[in-house]
Amino acid sequence: TFQVDPKEITALSLGSVIQSSNTAPKLIVLVHGMSSAPSDAAMPGVPEPNANSLDYNRFYWSPTFVQNLLGSNSLKTLSGVDVSGSRWEAHGTPNSNGKVTMTHGCRDSNADDHFIVKSSFSGGGTPDVAIFSSYRDASVHIMPQTKRLINQLYDAYVAKFGTKLAPKPGMAAPNIIFVCHSMGGLAVRTLLAAPTTSIGGVSLTPGERQKAQALRDRTAYVVTLATPHDGSQIADRVTDIKSAIDNDSNWTALNFLSQDITEAIRGTLRGQIRATAIEHLRSDFWRNHSGNAIAPYRMERTDGSHVPVYTLAGHAPGGRFFTNPTSASQFPAGSIDMGRLGEEGYRREVIRSVGLLMLDYFLHSVPGGSGPKNWGATTRSDLDIIARYHRERFGAGLSAPNEAVSAPLGLPTFFNREASSAKNVRVAGVDVAFPATKIKDGMFDADGMVGTHSGLALNLGTNQSGFFEHGAEWNTPDGSVFGSFYRVAPIDDGEEMPWVYKNHETIHRGGAVGEWVRQNLIERAGPLPGSGPVSFWPAPGLQLKLDSKGLISKLESSQFAKLRAAAANMKLIKIAKRDDD
Protein backbone atom coordinates (compact mmCIF):
# COMPACT_ATOMS: atom_id res chain seq x y z
CA THR A 1 0.00 0.00 0.00
CA PHE A 2 2.69 2.47 1.00
CA GLN A 3 5.41 3.26 -1.53
CA VAL A 4 8.63 4.97 -0.43
CA ASP A 5 10.93 6.71 -2.89
CA PRO A 6 14.14 4.61 -3.10
CA LYS A 7 16.10 7.83 -2.66
CA GLU A 8 14.72 8.04 0.87
CA ILE A 9 16.53 4.81 1.81
CA THR A 10 19.75 6.84 2.05
CA ALA A 11 18.16 9.19 4.57
CA LEU A 12 16.09 6.91 6.78
CA SER A 13 16.29 8.90 10.02
CA LEU A 14 12.97 9.89 11.55
CA GLY A 15 14.72 11.99 14.21
CA SER A 16 15.11 11.39 17.91
CA VAL A 17 12.22 11.25 20.33
CA ILE A 18 14.50 12.75 23.01
CA GLN A 19 14.51 16.05 21.12
CA SER A 20 10.75 16.17 21.48
CA SER A 21 8.40 16.66 24.45
CA ASN A 22 5.16 15.30 25.84
CA THR A 23 3.27 17.98 23.90
CA ALA A 24 4.43 16.55 20.56
CA PRO A 25 1.95 14.48 18.52
CA LYS A 26 1.66 10.81 19.46
CA LEU A 27 1.14 7.88 17.11
CA ILE A 28 -0.14 4.79 18.96
CA VAL A 29 0.66 1.66 16.95
CA LEU A 30 -1.68 -1.24 17.77
CA VAL A 31 0.06 -4.59 17.22
CA HIS A 32 -2.14 -7.67 17.47
CA GLY A 33 -1.09 -11.14 18.59
CA MET A 34 -1.04 -14.55 16.94
CA SER A 35 -3.60 -15.11 14.19
CA SER A 36 -4.87 -17.92 12.01
CA ALA A 37 -3.30 -18.20 8.57
CA PRO A 38 -5.03 -16.16 5.82
CA SER A 39 -5.97 -19.41 4.05
CA ASP A 40 -7.44 -21.02 7.19
CA ALA A 41 -11.15 -21.11 7.85
CA ALA A 42 -12.38 -18.77 10.56
CA MET A 43 -12.56 -20.16 14.08
CA PRO A 44 -15.96 -21.76 14.75
CA GLY A 45 -18.46 -19.45 16.38
CA VAL A 46 -16.26 -16.36 15.99
CA PRO A 47 -16.40 -14.86 12.48
CA GLU A 48 -13.17 -13.05 11.71
CA PRO A 49 -11.58 -11.23 8.77
CA ASN A 50 -8.51 -12.30 6.84
CA ALA A 51 -5.51 -11.81 9.16
CA ASN A 52 -3.43 -10.16 6.45
CA SER A 53 -5.85 -7.28 6.03
CA LEU A 54 -6.65 -4.00 7.70
CA ASP A 55 -10.01 -5.39 8.79
CA TYR A 56 -8.28 -7.81 11.16
CA ASN A 57 -6.99 -5.06 13.44
CA ARG A 58 -10.53 -3.80 14.02
CA PHE A 59 -11.74 -7.35 14.73
CA TYR A 60 -8.93 -7.90 17.23
CA TRP A 61 -9.16 -4.73 19.35
CA SER A 62 -12.52 -3.80 20.85
CA PRO A 63 -14.14 -0.39 20.36
CA THR A 64 -14.27 0.21 24.14
CA PHE A 65 -10.52 -0.41 24.47
CA VAL A 66 -9.68 1.96 21.60
CA GLN A 67 -12.15 4.63 22.69
CA ASN A 68 -10.67 4.70 26.19
CA LEU A 69 -7.14 4.62 24.80
CA LEU A 70 -7.85 7.78 22.77
CA GLY A 71 -10.17 9.33 25.34
CA SER A 72 -13.17 9.72 23.02
CA ASN A 73 -16.31 7.70 22.27
CA SER A 74 -16.45 9.18 18.78
CA LEU A 75 -13.82 7.99 16.30
CA LYS A 76 -13.13 8.24 12.59
CA THR A 77 -10.44 7.38 10.10
CA LEU A 78 -8.31 10.20 8.71
CA SER A 79 -10.31 9.75 5.52
CA GLY A 80 -13.42 10.73 7.49
CA VAL A 81 -15.16 7.36 7.87
CA ASP A 82 -17.09 7.11 11.16
CA VAL A 83 -15.95 4.04 13.14
CA SER A 84 -17.60 4.86 16.45
CA GLY A 85 -19.35 2.34 18.68
CA SER A 86 -20.94 -0.59 16.87
CA ARG A 87 -19.58 0.61 13.51
CA TRP A 88 -16.10 -0.40 14.72
CA GLU A 89 -16.85 -4.15 14.55
CA ALA A 90 -19.75 -4.20 12.07
CA HIS A 91 -19.17 -6.76 9.33
CA GLY A 92 -20.87 -8.51 6.47
CA THR A 93 -22.06 -12.11 6.18
CA PRO A 94 -19.30 -14.75 6.54
CA ASN A 95 -18.16 -16.29 3.27
CA SER A 96 -17.78 -20.01 2.64
CA ASN A 97 -14.54 -20.00 4.63
CA GLY A 98 -16.10 -18.18 7.58
CA LYS A 99 -14.24 -14.92 6.87
CA VAL A 100 -15.94 -11.51 7.03
CA THR A 101 -15.32 -7.99 5.72
CA MET A 102 -15.90 -4.88 7.83
CA THR A 103 -18.66 -2.65 6.49
CA HIS A 104 -17.27 0.75 7.51
CA GLY A 105 -13.92 2.04 6.28
CA CYS A 106 -10.90 -0.27 6.47
CA ARG A 107 -9.83 0.07 2.83
CA ASP A 108 -6.34 -1.36 2.60
CA SER A 109 -5.60 0.74 -0.48
CA ASN A 110 -6.35 4.04 1.30
CA ALA A 111 -3.47 5.23 3.49
CA ASP A 112 -5.71 7.48 5.60
CA ASP A 113 -7.96 4.56 6.59
CA HIS A 114 -5.01 3.12 8.53
CA PHE A 115 -5.12 6.05 10.96
CA ILE A 116 -7.85 6.38 13.63
CA VAL A 117 -8.44 9.75 15.33
CA LYS A 118 -11.01 11.47 17.51
CA SER A 119 -13.95 12.71 15.45
CA SER A 120 -13.25 16.21 16.74
CA PHE A 121 -10.01 16.37 14.74
CA SER A 122 -10.41 18.61 11.71
CA GLY A 123 -8.18 20.24 9.15
CA GLY A 124 -4.72 19.24 8.02
CA GLY A 125 -1.53 18.66 9.92
CA THR A 126 -0.66 15.96 12.40
CA PRO A 127 -3.30 14.95 14.99
CA ASP A 128 -2.32 15.38 18.65
CA VAL A 129 -2.92 11.65 19.11
CA ALA A 130 -3.77 9.01 16.53
CA ILE A 131 -3.81 5.24 16.21
CA PHE A 132 -2.06 3.38 13.42
CA SER A 133 -3.75 0.04 12.72
CA SER A 134 -1.00 -2.43 11.89
CA TYR A 135 -1.77 -5.91 10.64
CA ARG A 136 0.15 -8.96 9.45
CA ASP A 137 -0.06 -12.72 9.06
CA ALA A 138 0.80 -13.66 12.64
CA SER A 139 0.43 -17.41 12.15
CA VAL A 140 4.06 -17.70 10.99
CA HIS A 141 7.41 -17.53 12.78
CA ILE A 142 8.55 -14.37 14.53
CA MET A 143 10.97 -12.97 11.93
CA PRO A 144 8.55 -12.89 8.97
CA GLN A 145 6.08 -11.14 11.28
CA THR A 146 8.73 -8.62 12.33
CA LYS A 147 9.84 -7.91 8.76
CA ARG A 148 6.24 -7.23 7.77
CA LEU A 149 5.74 -4.88 10.73
CA ILE A 150 8.97 -2.96 10.06
CA ASN A 151 8.21 -2.32 6.40
CA GLN A 152 4.54 -1.57 6.92
CA LEU A 153 5.04 0.92 9.75
CA TYR A 154 8.14 2.66 8.40
CA ASP A 155 6.71 3.06 4.91
CA ALA A 156 3.39 4.35 6.27
CA TYR A 157 5.15 6.80 8.62
CA VAL A 158 7.31 8.23 5.83
CA ALA A 159 4.42 8.42 3.39
CA LYS A 160 2.41 10.45 5.90
CA PHE A 161 4.98 12.47 7.84
CA GLY A 162 8.26 12.25 5.91
CA THR A 163 11.76 11.77 7.32
CA LYS A 164 14.07 13.94 9.41
CA LEU A 165 15.81 15.26 6.30
CA ALA A 166 12.70 15.37 4.11
CA PRO A 167 9.62 16.16 6.24
CA LYS A 168 6.18 16.43 4.65
CA PRO A 169 5.04 20.08 4.40
CA GLY A 170 2.74 21.04 7.24
CA MET A 171 3.28 17.76 9.11
CA ALA A 172 5.02 17.27 12.45
CA ALA A 173 6.83 14.01 13.22
CA PRO A 174 4.82 12.15 15.88
CA ASN A 175 6.40 10.07 18.61
CA ILE A 176 5.65 6.35 18.35
CA ILE A 177 4.00 4.43 21.19
CA PHE A 178 3.56 0.68 20.67
CA VAL A 179 0.58 -0.99 22.35
CA CYS A 180 0.85 -4.73 21.78
CA HIS A 181 -0.99 -7.88 22.69
CA SER A 182 0.50 -11.35 23.08
CA MET A 183 2.90 -12.26 20.25
CA GLY A 184 2.64 -8.69 18.98
CA GLY A 185 4.87 -7.63 21.88
CA LEU A 186 7.50 -10.16 20.79
CA ALA A 187 7.43 -8.82 17.23
CA VAL A 188 7.94 -5.29 18.56
CA ARG A 189 10.79 -6.35 20.84
CA THR A 190 12.42 -8.02 17.84
CA LEU A 191 11.90 -4.88 15.74
CA LEU A 192 13.47 -2.66 18.40
CA ALA A 193 16.42 -5.02 18.91
CA ALA A 194 16.99 -5.08 15.13
CA PRO A 195 18.97 -8.34 15.32
CA THR A 196 22.03 -8.72 13.12
CA THR A 197 21.85 -12.53 13.15
CA SER A 198 19.22 -14.83 11.70
CA ILE A 199 16.42 -16.17 13.86
CA GLY A 200 14.70 -19.32 12.72
CA GLY A 201 16.76 -19.11 9.54
CA VAL A 202 15.43 -15.65 8.60
CA SER A 203 17.38 -12.37 8.77
CA LEU A 204 16.59 -8.69 8.40
CA THR A 205 18.00 -7.09 5.26
CA PRO A 206 20.37 -4.12 5.75
CA GLY A 207 17.56 -1.80 4.65
CA GLU A 208 15.12 -3.35 7.14
CA ARG A 209 17.65 -2.94 9.94
CA GLN A 210 18.03 0.73 9.04
CA LYS A 211 14.27 1.17 9.07
CA ALA A 212 14.03 -0.61 12.43
CA GLN A 213 16.73 1.63 13.92
CA ALA A 214 14.93 4.73 12.62
CA LEU A 215 11.66 3.55 14.21
CA ARG A 216 13.49 2.79 17.47
CA ASP A 217 14.87 6.35 17.66
CA ARG A 218 11.32 7.66 17.25
CA THR A 219 9.75 5.26 19.81
CA ALA A 220 8.83 6.75 23.19
CA TYR A 221 7.94 3.43 24.89
CA VAL A 222 6.18 0.08 24.50
CA VAL A 223 3.15 -1.34 26.35
CA THR A 224 2.71 -5.11 26.25
CA LEU A 225 -0.50 -6.86 27.29
CA ALA A 226 -0.16 -10.59 28.05
CA THR A 227 3.00 -10.94 25.97
CA PRO A 228 4.90 -14.21 26.64
CA HIS A 229 8.29 -12.53 27.09
CA ASP A 230 9.75 -15.69 28.61
CA GLY A 231 7.71 -18.08 26.46
CA SER A 232 4.58 -20.07 27.23
CA GLN A 233 4.21 -23.42 29.00
CA ILE A 234 1.35 -24.15 26.60
CA ALA A 235 3.77 -24.00 23.66
CA ASP A 236 6.21 -26.22 25.58
CA ARG A 237 3.59 -28.96 25.97
CA VAL A 238 1.77 -28.49 22.70
CA THR A 239 1.79 -32.22 21.82
CA ASP A 240 0.30 -33.31 25.14
CA ILE A 241 -2.27 -30.54 25.12
CA LYS A 242 -3.28 -31.24 21.52
CA SER A 243 -4.02 -34.84 22.56
CA ALA A 244 -6.04 -33.59 25.52
CA ILE A 245 -8.08 -31.29 23.27
CA ASP A 246 -8.86 -34.17 20.93
CA ASN A 247 -9.93 -36.49 23.78
CA ASP A 248 -13.73 -36.37 24.03
CA SER A 249 -13.75 -37.48 27.67
CA ASN A 250 -12.01 -34.27 28.72
CA TRP A 251 -15.05 -32.20 27.71
CA THR A 252 -17.79 -33.82 29.79
CA ALA A 253 -17.58 -31.00 32.34
CA LEU A 254 -18.98 -28.64 29.68
CA ASN A 255 -22.19 -30.62 29.16
CA PHE A 256 -24.18 -27.61 30.35
CA LEU A 257 -23.17 -25.84 27.13
CA SER A 258 -24.65 -26.70 23.75
CA GLN A 259 -22.60 -28.98 21.53
CA ASP A 260 -21.97 -26.26 18.94
CA ILE A 261 -20.48 -23.95 21.60
CA THR A 262 -18.29 -26.77 22.96
CA GLU A 263 -17.09 -27.60 19.46
CA ALA A 264 -16.41 -23.92 18.83
CA ILE A 265 -14.24 -23.88 21.96
CA ARG A 266 -12.34 -26.96 20.80
CA GLY A 267 -11.96 -25.57 17.29
CA THR A 268 -10.56 -22.30 18.59
CA LEU A 269 -8.01 -24.12 20.73
CA ARG A 270 -7.00 -26.41 17.88
CA GLY A 271 -6.35 -23.39 15.69
CA GLN A 272 -4.14 -21.76 18.32
CA ILE A 273 -2.17 -24.93 19.06
CA ARG A 274 -1.60 -25.87 15.43
CA ALA A 275 -0.40 -22.47 14.17
CA THR A 276 3.20 -22.43 12.98
CA ALA A 277 3.82 -19.45 15.26
CA ILE A 278 3.42 -21.62 18.38
CA GLU A 279 6.95 -22.94 17.81
CA HIS A 280 8.33 -19.47 18.48
CA LEU A 281 6.43 -19.15 21.75
CA ARG A 282 8.41 -21.91 23.45
CA SER A 283 10.26 -21.10 26.68
CA ASP A 284 13.60 -22.38 25.40
CA PHE A 285 13.29 -20.23 22.27
CA TRP A 286 12.92 -17.04 24.32
CA ARG A 287 15.51 -18.01 26.92
CA ASN A 288 17.99 -18.22 24.06
CA HIS A 289 17.02 -15.14 22.06
CA SER A 290 16.20 -12.86 25.02
CA GLY A 291 19.72 -13.54 26.24
CA ASN A 292 21.28 -12.83 22.86
CA ALA A 293 19.86 -11.41 19.63
CA ILE A 294 16.69 -9.95 21.23
CA ALA A 295 18.17 -9.02 24.60
CA PRO A 296 16.46 -6.03 26.28
CA TYR A 297 19.68 -3.96 26.26
CA ARG A 298 19.74 -4.13 22.46
CA MET A 299 16.74 -1.80 22.33
CA GLU A 300 19.14 1.13 22.54
CA ARG A 301 18.52 4.36 20.65
CA THR A 302 21.24 6.21 18.77
CA ASP A 303 21.71 8.53 21.77
CA GLY A 304 22.40 5.57 24.08
CA SER A 305 19.06 5.58 25.92
CA HIS A 306 16.90 2.46 26.13
CA VAL A 307 13.27 2.22 25.11
CA PRO A 308 11.03 1.75 28.20
CA VAL A 309 8.77 -1.32 28.17
CA TYR A 310 5.65 -1.63 30.35
CA THR A 311 4.42 -5.19 30.95
CA LEU A 312 0.84 -5.93 32.06
CA ALA A 313 -0.39 -9.48 32.67
CA GLY A 314 -3.78 -11.03 33.45
CA HIS A 315 -4.33 -13.49 36.30
CA ALA A 316 -7.58 -15.42 35.75
CA PRO A 317 -7.77 -17.90 32.84
CA GLY A 318 -11.56 -17.92 32.92
CA GLY A 319 -11.83 -14.16 33.18
CA ARG A 320 -14.94 -12.72 34.78
CA PHE A 321 -16.92 -15.96 34.41
CA PHE A 322 -14.82 -17.84 36.94
CA THR A 323 -13.98 -15.40 39.70
CA ASN A 324 -16.84 -16.14 42.10
CA PRO A 325 -15.65 -18.01 45.24
CA THR A 326 -19.19 -18.56 46.50
CA SER A 327 -20.35 -20.72 43.62
CA ALA A 328 -21.78 -24.05 44.78
CA SER A 329 -20.56 -26.00 41.77
CA GLN A 330 -17.09 -27.10 40.77
CA PHE A 331 -17.54 -25.43 37.40
CA PRO A 332 -19.76 -22.36 37.92
CA ALA A 333 -21.98 -22.64 34.86
CA GLY A 334 -24.35 -20.15 36.42
CA SER A 335 -21.95 -17.30 35.73
CA ILE A 336 -22.56 -17.72 31.97
CA ASP A 337 -25.78 -16.11 30.74
CA MET A 338 -27.06 -18.82 28.40
CA GLY A 339 -29.59 -16.42 26.91
CA ARG A 340 -26.84 -14.14 25.62
CA LEU A 341 -24.90 -16.75 23.65
CA GLY A 342 -26.64 -15.52 20.51
CA GLU A 343 -24.80 -12.19 20.85
CA GLU A 344 -21.63 -12.39 18.80
CA GLY A 345 -19.42 -10.42 21.19
CA TYR A 346 -20.64 -12.28 24.28
CA ARG A 347 -20.32 -15.65 22.53
CA ARG A 348 -16.78 -14.80 21.54
CA GLU A 349 -15.86 -13.99 25.14
CA VAL A 350 -17.41 -17.23 26.43
CA ILE A 351 -15.71 -19.37 23.78
CA ARG A 352 -12.28 -17.84 24.35
CA SER A 353 -12.58 -17.66 28.15
CA VAL A 354 -13.77 -21.23 28.64
CA GLY A 355 -11.11 -22.35 26.17
CA LEU A 356 -8.36 -20.61 28.12
CA LEU A 357 -9.62 -22.20 31.33
CA MET A 358 -9.41 -25.60 29.64
CA LEU A 359 -5.85 -24.91 28.44
CA ASP A 360 -4.82 -24.12 32.00
CA TYR A 361 -6.55 -27.29 33.20
CA PHE A 362 -4.87 -29.42 30.55
CA LEU A 363 -1.47 -28.00 31.45
CA HIS A 364 -1.91 -29.27 35.02
CA SER A 365 -3.76 -32.46 34.25
CA VAL A 366 -2.73 -34.11 30.97
CA PRO A 367 -0.46 -37.14 31.21
CA GLY A 368 3.02 -36.67 29.83
CA GLY A 369 6.55 -37.91 30.06
CA SER A 370 7.36 -35.35 32.74
CA GLY A 371 4.00 -35.38 34.49
CA PRO A 372 1.59 -32.51 35.24
CA LYS A 373 3.01 -28.99 35.05
CA ASN A 374 2.19 -25.63 36.52
CA TRP A 375 3.10 -22.19 35.23
CA GLY A 376 6.24 -21.92 37.35
CA ALA A 377 6.65 -21.48 41.10
CA THR A 378 7.02 -18.16 42.87
CA THR A 379 7.64 -16.91 46.36
CA ARG A 380 6.24 -13.46 45.59
CA SER A 381 2.84 -13.18 47.23
CA ASP A 382 2.11 -9.92 45.41
CA LEU A 383 2.00 -11.88 42.15
CA ASP A 384 0.47 -15.14 43.35
CA ILE A 385 -3.05 -14.06 44.19
CA ILE A 386 -5.44 -16.59 42.64
CA ALA A 387 -6.76 -19.67 44.47
CA ARG A 388 -7.75 -22.92 42.78
CA TYR A 389 -9.87 -26.00 43.46
CA HIS A 390 -8.24 -29.39 43.75
CA ARG A 391 -10.20 -32.46 42.70
CA GLU A 392 -8.58 -34.46 45.52
CA ARG A 393 -9.93 -32.05 48.14
CA PHE A 394 -13.23 -31.08 46.55
CA GLY A 395 -15.50 -29.48 49.09
CA ALA A 396 -13.18 -27.29 51.09
CA GLY A 397 -10.87 -27.82 48.14
CA LEU A 398 -9.00 -24.56 47.80
CA SER A 399 -5.26 -24.71 47.25
CA ALA A 400 -3.30 -24.14 50.43
CA PRO A 401 -0.21 -21.92 50.76
CA ASN A 402 2.75 -23.53 48.97
CA GLU A 403 0.68 -26.60 48.12
CA ALA A 404 2.29 -28.84 45.51
CA VAL A 405 0.28 -30.45 42.74
CA SER A 406 0.16 -34.13 43.75
CA ALA A 407 -2.85 -35.05 41.61
CA PRO A 408 -4.67 -33.55 38.63
CA LEU A 409 -6.61 -30.43 39.46
CA GLY A 410 -10.33 -30.30 39.16
CA LEU A 411 -11.72 -27.65 36.87
CA PRO A 412 -10.95 -24.62 39.04
CA THR A 413 -12.65 -21.49 40.19
CA PHE A 414 -10.25 -18.55 40.17
CA PHE A 415 -10.51 -15.60 42.50
CA ASN A 416 -8.45 -13.07 44.41
CA ARG A 417 -6.87 -14.38 47.61
CA GLU A 418 -5.68 -11.03 48.95
CA ALA A 419 -7.46 -10.06 52.17
CA SER A 420 -6.94 -6.92 54.24
CA SER A 421 -8.81 -8.47 57.16
CA ALA A 422 -9.63 -12.01 58.21
CA LYS A 423 -12.86 -13.34 56.71
CA ASN A 424 -14.72 -16.52 55.86
CA VAL A 425 -15.62 -17.27 52.26
CA ARG A 426 -18.28 -19.86 51.49
CA VAL A 427 -16.97 -22.29 48.87
CA ALA A 428 -18.98 -25.28 47.66
CA GLY A 429 -21.15 -25.06 50.75
CA VAL A 430 -18.22 -24.92 53.18
CA ASP A 431 -16.88 -21.89 55.06
CA VAL A 432 -13.20 -21.44 54.28
CA ALA A 433 -11.16 -19.15 56.54
CA PHE A 434 -8.93 -16.57 54.87
CA PRO A 435 -6.32 -14.89 57.07
CA ALA A 436 -5.59 -11.18 57.04
CA THR A 437 -2.23 -11.73 55.37
CA LYS A 438 -1.16 -12.32 51.82
CA ILE A 439 -1.04 -16.05 51.12
CA LYS A 440 0.27 -18.02 48.19
CA ASP A 441 -0.04 -21.56 46.85
CA GLY A 442 3.39 -21.71 45.22
CA MET A 443 1.89 -21.78 41.73
CA PHE A 444 2.31 -18.86 39.40
CA ASP A 445 -0.91 -17.41 38.09
CA ALA A 446 -1.70 -17.37 34.38
CA ASP A 447 -4.12 -15.86 31.90
CA GLY A 448 -4.76 -19.25 30.29
CA MET A 449 -2.12 -18.89 27.58
CA VAL A 450 0.73 -17.03 29.31
CA GLY A 451 2.08 -17.43 32.82
CA THR A 452 2.17 -14.22 34.85
CA HIS A 453 5.94 -14.47 35.25
CA SER A 454 6.29 -14.51 31.45
CA GLY A 455 3.71 -11.77 30.92
CA LEU A 456 5.71 -9.57 33.32
CA ALA A 457 9.04 -10.49 31.66
CA LEU A 458 10.66 -11.41 34.95
CA ASN A 459 13.72 -13.21 33.54
CA LEU A 460 14.36 -12.16 29.94
CA GLY A 461 16.78 -14.96 29.16
CA THR A 462 18.61 -14.81 32.50
CA ASN A 463 18.45 -16.42 35.93
CA GLN A 464 17.89 -13.04 37.57
CA SER A 465 14.33 -12.31 38.66
CA GLY A 466 13.32 -8.86 37.52
CA PHE A 467 16.19 -8.55 35.07
CA PHE A 468 16.55 -5.11 33.47
CA GLU A 469 14.09 -3.54 35.92
CA HIS A 470 13.91 0.23 35.69
CA GLY A 471 15.57 2.25 38.42
CA ALA A 472 18.58 -0.09 38.69
CA GLU A 473 21.85 -0.66 36.86
CA TRP A 474 22.49 -4.03 35.23
CA ASN A 475 25.60 -5.71 33.94
CA THR A 476 25.30 -6.67 30.27
CA PRO A 477 27.77 -7.63 27.52
CA ASP A 478 27.56 -3.97 26.49
CA GLY A 479 28.60 -2.78 29.95
CA SER A 480 26.67 -1.51 32.97
CA VAL A 481 23.45 0.22 31.89
CA PHE A 482 20.20 1.40 33.44
CA GLY A 483 17.25 -0.97 33.04
CA SER A 484 14.13 -0.02 31.12
CA PHE A 485 11.43 -2.62 31.99
CA TYR A 486 8.42 -1.58 34.10
CA ARG A 487 6.56 -4.57 35.55
CA VAL A 488 3.19 -3.28 36.68
CA ALA A 489 1.94 -5.44 39.55
CA PRO A 490 -1.74 -6.51 39.65
CA ILE A 491 -2.26 -4.76 42.99
CA ASP A 492 -0.83 -1.35 43.88
CA ASP A 493 -1.15 0.02 47.43
CA GLY A 494 -3.88 -2.55 48.09
CA GLU A 495 -5.94 -1.53 45.06
CA GLU A 496 -6.63 -3.94 42.21
CA MET A 497 -5.51 -2.93 38.76
CA PRO A 498 -8.23 -3.17 36.08
CA TRP A 499 -6.62 -6.23 34.45
CA VAL A 500 -6.28 -8.41 37.57
CA TYR A 501 -9.32 -10.53 36.58
CA LYS A 502 -8.65 -10.40 32.85
CA ASN A 503 -7.48 -13.34 30.80
CA HIS A 504 -5.52 -13.59 27.56
CA GLU A 505 -8.57 -12.77 25.46
CA THR A 506 -10.06 -9.91 27.48
CA ILE A 507 -7.03 -7.89 28.63
CA HIS A 508 -6.79 -6.19 25.22
CA ARG A 509 -10.53 -5.69 24.86
CA GLY A 510 -11.47 -4.09 28.19
CA GLY A 511 -12.27 -0.39 28.40
CA ALA A 512 -10.80 -0.07 31.90
CA VAL A 513 -7.41 -1.33 30.68
CA GLY A 514 -7.41 1.19 27.83
CA GLU A 515 -8.34 3.94 30.29
CA TRP A 516 -5.47 3.04 32.64
CA VAL A 517 -2.95 3.01 29.78
CA ARG A 518 -4.15 6.42 28.56
CA GLN A 519 -4.15 8.18 31.95
CA ASN A 520 -0.91 6.70 33.26
CA LEU A 521 1.15 6.38 30.10
CA ILE A 522 -0.22 8.08 26.97
CA GLU A 523 -0.78 11.36 28.82
CA ARG A 524 2.32 11.23 31.06
CA ALA A 525 5.08 8.78 30.20
CA GLY A 526 8.28 9.79 28.43
CA PRO A 527 11.12 8.06 26.59
CA LEU A 528 13.61 7.84 29.47
CA PRO A 529 13.43 5.11 32.15
CA GLY A 530 13.96 6.27 35.72
CA SER A 531 13.42 5.21 39.30
CA GLY A 532 9.74 6.19 39.54
CA PRO A 533 6.74 4.15 38.33
CA VAL A 534 6.51 6.05 35.02
CA SER A 535 9.21 6.93 32.48
CA PHE A 536 9.82 10.63 31.92
CA TRP A 537 10.84 13.47 29.60
CA PRO A 538 14.06 15.49 29.85
CA ALA A 539 13.76 18.67 31.89
CA PRO A 540 12.79 21.75 29.85
CA GLY A 541 15.80 23.67 28.60
CA LEU A 542 18.17 20.71 28.84
CA GLN A 543 20.91 21.19 26.25
CA LEU A 544 21.70 17.99 24.37
CA LYS A 545 24.56 17.81 21.88
CA LEU A 546 23.48 16.98 18.35
CA ASP A 547 25.57 15.53 15.56
CA SER A 548 25.65 16.59 11.91
CA LYS A 549 22.48 14.62 11.16
CA GLY A 550 20.53 16.20 13.99
CA LEU A 551 20.73 13.14 16.23
CA ILE A 552 21.64 13.27 19.89
CA SER A 553 25.18 12.21 20.58
CA LYS A 554 25.75 9.34 22.98
CA LEU A 555 24.72 10.42 26.48
CA GLU A 556 27.07 9.76 29.36
CA SER A 557 25.92 7.83 32.44
CA SER A 558 26.23 10.99 34.57
CA GLN A 559 23.72 12.72 32.29
CA PHE A 560 21.32 9.80 32.60
CA ALA A 561 21.67 9.88 36.39
CA LYS A 562 20.57 13.51 36.50
CA LEU A 563 17.69 12.88 34.14
CA ARG A 564 16.42 9.82 36.02
CA ALA A 565 16.08 11.70 39.29
CA ALA A 566 13.28 13.81 37.83
CA ALA A 567 10.80 10.89 37.81
CA ALA A 568 11.41 9.52 41.31
CA ASN A 569 8.32 11.07 42.93
CA MET A 570 5.72 10.26 40.29
CA LYS A 571 2.70 8.16 41.34
CA LEU A 572 0.35 5.92 39.39
CA ILE A 573 -3.11 7.33 38.77
CA LYS A 574 -5.93 5.17 40.13
CA ILE A 575 -9.02 4.87 37.96
CA ALA A 576 -12.53 3.78 38.83
CA LYS A 577 -13.25 0.19 37.80
CA ARG A 578 -15.93 -0.11 35.17
CA ASP A 579 -18.16 -2.78 33.69
CA ASP A 580 -16.69 -3.73 30.31
CA ASP A 581 -19.77 -5.49 28.95
- Per-residue HEC secondary structure of 16-66 comes to CHHHCCCCCCEEEEEECCCCCCCCCCCCCCCCECCCCCHHHHHHHCCHHHH
The answer to whether 450 and 313 are in contact (CB under 8 A) is yes
Long-range contacts of 143-148 (CB under 8 A, 24+ apart): 143/190, 143/198, 143/199, 143/200, 143/202, 143/203, 143/204, 144/202, 145/183, 145/187, 145/277, 146/187, 146/190, 146/191, 146/204, 147/202, 147/204, 147/208
545 phi/psi in degrees, rounded to 5: -75, 130
Show the CA angle centred on residue 46, arms to residues 44 and 47, nearest 5°.
100
| Rounded Cα–Cα distance for residues 78 and 106 (Å) | 11
Q: Model pTM?
A: 0.91
484: exposed, middle or buried (Cβ count in 10 Å: 0-12, 13-18, 19+): buried
Task: Write out the DSSP string of 169-184.
Answer: TT---PEEEEEEETHH
**What's residue 196's pLDDT?**
95
369 phi/psi in degrees, rounded to 5: -60, -30
| Rounded Cα–Cα distance for residues 522 and 532 (Å) | 16
* Residues in Cβ contact with 339 at an 8 Å cutoff, skipping those fewer than 6 apart: none
Q: Is 540 helix (H, G, I), strand (E, B) or coil?
A: coil
Residue 451 burial (CB count, 10 A)? 28
Q: Which amino acid does the sequence have at 122? A: S
Q: Which amino acid does the sequence have at 241? A: I
The answer to whether 396 and 430 are in contact (CB under 8 A) is yes
| Rounded Cα–Cα distance for residues 513 and 534 (Å) | 16
pLDDT in tens, the chain (581 residues): 444 444 444 468 999 898 888 899 999 999 999 998 888 888 778 889 999 999 999 999 999 999 999 999 999 999 999 999 999 999 999 998 889 999 998 888 888 999 999 999 997 899 999 999 999 999 999 999 999 999 999 999 999 999 998 999 999 999 999 999 999 999 999 999 999 999 999 999 999 999 999 999 999 999 999 999 999 999 999 988 999 899 998 888 788 888 999 999 999 999 888 889 999 999 999 999 999 999 999 999 988 889 999 999 998 888 888 765 544 444 555 578 888 889 999 999 999 999 998 898 888 777 666 666 777 766 666 677 777 765 554 444 566 655 555 555 666 666 666 555 555 554 444 565 555 555 566 667 889 999 989 999 999 999 998 999 998 889 998 888 889 999 998 877 767 789 988 899 999 998 999 999 999 999 999 998 888 889 988 765 555 555 554 445 555 556 556 655 555 667 888 887 665 54
Q: Is 7 helix (H, G, I), strand (E, B) or coil?
A: helix
Closest by CA to 278, choosing from 139, 174, 400, 389, is: 139
* Residues in Cβ contact with 383 at an 8 Å cutoff, skipping those fewer than 6 apart: 444, 445, 452, 453, 456, 489, 490
**What's residue 329's pLDDT?**
46
Give the dihedral sign, CA 197/203/207/211: negative
Rg, the chain, Cα only: 23
* Residues in Cβ contact with 540 at an 8 Å cutoff, skipping those fewer than 6 apart: 21
Show the CA angle centred on residue 242, arms to residues 238 and 246, nearest 5°.
175
480 phi/psi in degrees, rounded to 5: -85, 120
Q: Which amino acid does the sequence have at 443? A: M
**What's residue 93's pLDDT?**
93
Task: Write out the DSSP string of 439-469.
Answer: ---S---B-SSSBHHHHTTSSTTSSSTTTTB
**What's residue 455's pLDDT?**
95
337: exposed, middle or buried (Cβ count in 10 Å: 0-12, 13-18, 19+): exposed
| Rounded Cα–Cα distance for residues 47 and 31 (Å) | 20
**What's residue 368's pLDDT?**
64
Strand partners, 576: none
Q: How many residues does the chain have?
A: 581
